[in-house]
Structure 1
Amino acid sequence: MKKIDRLVCVEDFAQEAKQVLAKNAKDYFTSGADDEITVVQNTEAFSRLLIRPRVLRDVSVRNLSTMILGKSVKVPLGVSPSAFQGLAHSDGECGSAKAVEAIGGIFILSVFATKSYEEIAAAAPNVRRWFQFYMHKDRQVKEKAAQKAGFEAIVLTLDAQSVGNRRSSRRDPLEFPSHLKSLPNATPDAAQKELKIFELHDIMDHGVTWEAVSWLKSISNLPLVVKGIQTVEDAIIAVSHGVDAIFVSNHGGRQVDTAVPTCDILPEIVRTVKGKCEIYVDGGVRRGTDIFKALALGANMVFVGRPIVYGLAVGGTVGATKVMHILRDELDLTMALSGVSNVSELTPSYVNRVPGHSHL
């Protein structure tokens, strides 16, 4: 039996990835801000949710498909924008895109990707692909290039105009191997000349406001997703600016430590804005049961970041694809065991909080 065949869950891949990744890359992908409390809490928050299975229901056939931004996806699972995937494996973002294509989800390409729009389109022509955008001081937008390569939505990241205090990167600044010397999709072009993580701070517009959302909508006809919403107050403002979707995210605990875990704030945001726009979530998703719970809380789509990197590190495209299949199959089995034949049936009635946690 091949070693990868013995890896049967995301945690298996995580442990193996930590063995095979170079220390510099491992520190970058696994680290969070400050004491990394939110990194841990993002995952533990899902464990504080308990599933309430229903029985004697016909679940002989399960339907995991749903509609996202007016188009069907085979499963409400995708990959969040994750930078520098070429550090994990030479397949990089192309491998991730192929993995998402295999399950019929949605792939979001990081602006700090090591593969170009065109390379992604060629590698995974049938995957639904969106592209990330940060508000730089230079507001150049490579929308035309992205659209030409079949990218169908903009994901504006709101919570990283300054880089979080990641201690491991301060102790040992991220270094790039000789084959990774450019960021083909980054704006402005100056960001392509030399890759040093803390220099990214210098190209961000630190005075950006909600005006930027209005501006971006005025220059683009692509659907707009705003990523990094962590409060009901900001969710309401986002809706008032006419966004197509809100992405509940705390950047995987990499920005503000002790930020509220995303699955804890998700129910309140859903109650406030559900029906006015779509709602997505990431942060701490490691199991199919986590996806089930997030969907039950009202998310339309669930995304993962670190798990796809772990898959890449262990086995390139093959490893990444296995990770996505594991998550998809775990969701399918959880539905079967919980009496759910269609993801559209999932409601908060399928989950309980552990006593003492009343965010539902």
Structure 2
Amino acid sequence: MRMVDQPLCLDDFEALARAKIRQDYWDYIAGGAGAERALAANRAAFARIALRPRVLVDVSACTAATTLLGHELASPVVVAPTAYHRMSHPEGELATARGAADAGALYIPSIFSNYPLEDVAAAGGAAPRWQQLYWLHDREAFGAVVDRATAAGYSALVLTVDAPVIGLRLRDARNALTLDADTLPANLFAAQDLLTTRSEGSSAVATQSLQAFDASITWDDLAWLRDRSPLPLVLKGIATAEDARLAVEHGVAAIVVSNHGGRQLDNPIGTLDILPEVVEAVAGRCPVLFDGGVRTGHDVAVALALGADAVLVGRPALWGLAVGGAAGVTQVLRLLQTELERVMALIGRPTVESIDASAVRRA
């Protein structure tokens, strides 16, 4: 992969980040499940959709600004929940939170953050933030994390529902991935647990994490979570029309169409191919967010045209973090915003709301 001095696109950020992150950590960030077919399918899906430009439209003041669950955002690009940001930069999620805030973006920290969720909230200041969750066997421990997020000023809970078990990550297995002491999760385990697992490496942390996850939950369990917290509930990992309809019936505030960045089921269906059926099933009853393979402003425009209200980016935020800390995260997000606004001008769609299905066709 070519090296660059000044990143002009996300591919440049990826090249620079790869040179800064140690190989086993890079493989954890970049890798997918199994043969990584889903990882490839997420990107390939964008090549099958072409934009239809309209001309002689006043595009002198294009703006990517939008609103999502009451949050005014600079663009429809949200920082996705990804674990262990200290793999990319010593300041980890604290820098990511600051970078997202400076870009006017919504940030969703992972429950596997390297810093406590309260510290991440403080780093982001008044910027909007949602907290990602996995459901834990220990309901009271799970409820305690929910209570902490509520008290720390998070404005929604994002429950990841596509990980009843962890996908087969061959890169990590071949690397015998071991977390250093400074990359252990800060939210799931008590301080004494962390002190114990520091000497045992990642295998102890991984085993403890997997045992903590509850694979028995069903749609009926969502009522318990909604009773526990007044925060809006967002489900991440919806990949069929059937589940989209069930999500709406269970009163969720939004859904995220996602296949976990290709890290769970090694499924060749890209999330962009799934998006239209989910949007049709939801029928405007809640926002639909999109996750999977977004790398350019063109990709953002395509997802919006297919019905997404916003998109999530995970790996690109980590690339920016590795390259420049908080400033690198800001630069990645502003780059996507600038690219999107340029595409909007070129296709004659001056606002996010004006990007509809007529803006695309199958290539």
Q: TM-score, normalised by structure 1?
A: 0.93
Amino acid at match of 1:60: S
- Say whether 1:198 aligns with 2:244: no
How many Å separate the matches in 2 of 1:103 and 1:230? 29
Residue pair 2:79, 2:314 contacting (<8 A) in 1 also = yes
- Say whether 1:172 aligns with 2:175: yes
How many Å separate the matches in 2 of 1:155 and 1:264? 23
Residue pair 1:230, 1:260 contacting (<8 A) in 2 also = no
Give 3-state SS (helix, strand or coil) of 2:132's partner: strand
Residue pair 1:247, 1:280 contacting (<8 A) in 2 also = yes
> Residue 160 and residue 187 in structure 1: after superposition, are their counterparts in 2 closer, same or farther (change >3 A)?
farther
Once the two structures are TM-superposed, the CA of residue 253 in structure 1 deviates from its matched residue by 0.3
**Displaced runs of 4 or more, over 3 A:** 187-193, 195-198
Residue in 2 that maps onto 1:126: 126
Once the two structures are TM-superposed, the CA of residue 259 in structure 1 deviates from its matched residue by 4.5
Gaps of 5+ in 1: 355-360
Residue pair 2:4, 2:15 contacting (<8 A) in 1 also = no
Give 3-state SS (helix, strand or coil) of 1:128's partner: coil
Once the two structures are TM-superposed, the CA of residue 5 in structure 1 deviates from its matched residue by 5.5
Once the two structures are TM-superposed, the CA of residue 131 in structure 1 deviates from its matched residue by 0.3
Residue pair 2:147, 2:229 contacting (<8 A) in 1 also = no
Amino acid at match of 2:318: V
Residue in 2 that maps onto 1:276: 285
Greater per-residue helix proportion? 2
Amino acid at match of 2:187: N
Amino acid at match of 2:341: D
Relative to structure 2, which stretch is displaced further, 77-86 or 87-96?
87-96
Residue pair 2:65, 2:73 contacting (<8 A) in 1 also = yes
Relative to structure 2, which stretch is displaced further, 328-337 or 166-175?
166-175
Give 3-state SS (helix, strand or coil) of 2:43's partner: helix
Relative to structure 2, which stretch is displaced further, 305-314 or 248-257?
305-314
Residue pair 1:163, 1:198 contacting (<8 A) in 2 also = no
Residue in 2 that maps onto 1:213: 222
Amino acid at match of 2:133: F
How many Å separate the matches in 1 of 2:153 and 2:8? 33
Once the two structures are TM-superposed, the CA of residue 178 in structure 1 deviates from its matched residue by 3.2
Residue in 1 that maps onto 2:40: 40
What CA RMSD, in Å, does the superposition of the two structures yield over aligned residues?
Answer: 1.8
Amino acid at match of 1:225: V
Instruction: Give CA-to-partner distance per residue, 1:151-174, whole Å, 9 cap, x none.
Output: 110000000121100101111232
Q: TM-score, normalised by structure 2?
A: 0.92
1:261-300 equivalences under 5 Å are 261-300=270-309
Residue pair 2:84, 2:112 contacting (<8 A) in 1 also = yes
Residue pair 2:236, 2:256 contacting (<8 A) in 1 also = yes
Residue pair 1:226, 1:246 contacting (<8 A) in 2 also = yes
What is the number of residues matched between the two proteins? 351
Give 3-state SS (helix, strand or coil) of 2:164's partner: coil
1:1-360 equivalences under 5 Å are 6-139=6-139, 140-141=142-143, 142-181=145-184, 183-186=185-188, 192=194, 194=197, 195-196=202-203, 198-199=206-207, 200-354=209-363
Instruction: Give CA-to-partner distance per residue, 1:192-224, whole Å, 9 cap, x none.
Output: 453446322221112121122222112211000
Relative to structure 2, which stretch is displaced further, 80-89 or 208-217?
208-217
Residue pair 1:135, 1:161 contacting (<8 A) in 2 also = no
> Residue 191 and residue 296 in structure 1: after superposition, are their counterparts in 2 closer, same or farther (change >3 A)?
farther
Instruction: Give CA-to-partner distance per residue, 1:232-263, whole Å, 9 cap, x none.
Output: 01111111111111110000000001252111
Instruction: Give CA-to-partner distance per residue, 1:36-77, whole Å, 9 cap, x none.
Output: 011111011112110111111111112222221123222111
Percent of aligned pairs sharing the same letter: 40
Gaps of 5+ in 2: none
How many Å separate the matches in 2 of 1:37 and 1:143? 34
How many Å separate the matches in 1 of 2:155 and 2:232? 7
How many Å separate the matches in 1 of 2:5 and 2:104? 22
Relative to structure 2, which stretch is displaced further, 44-53 or 94-103?
94-103
Amino acid at match of 1:332: E
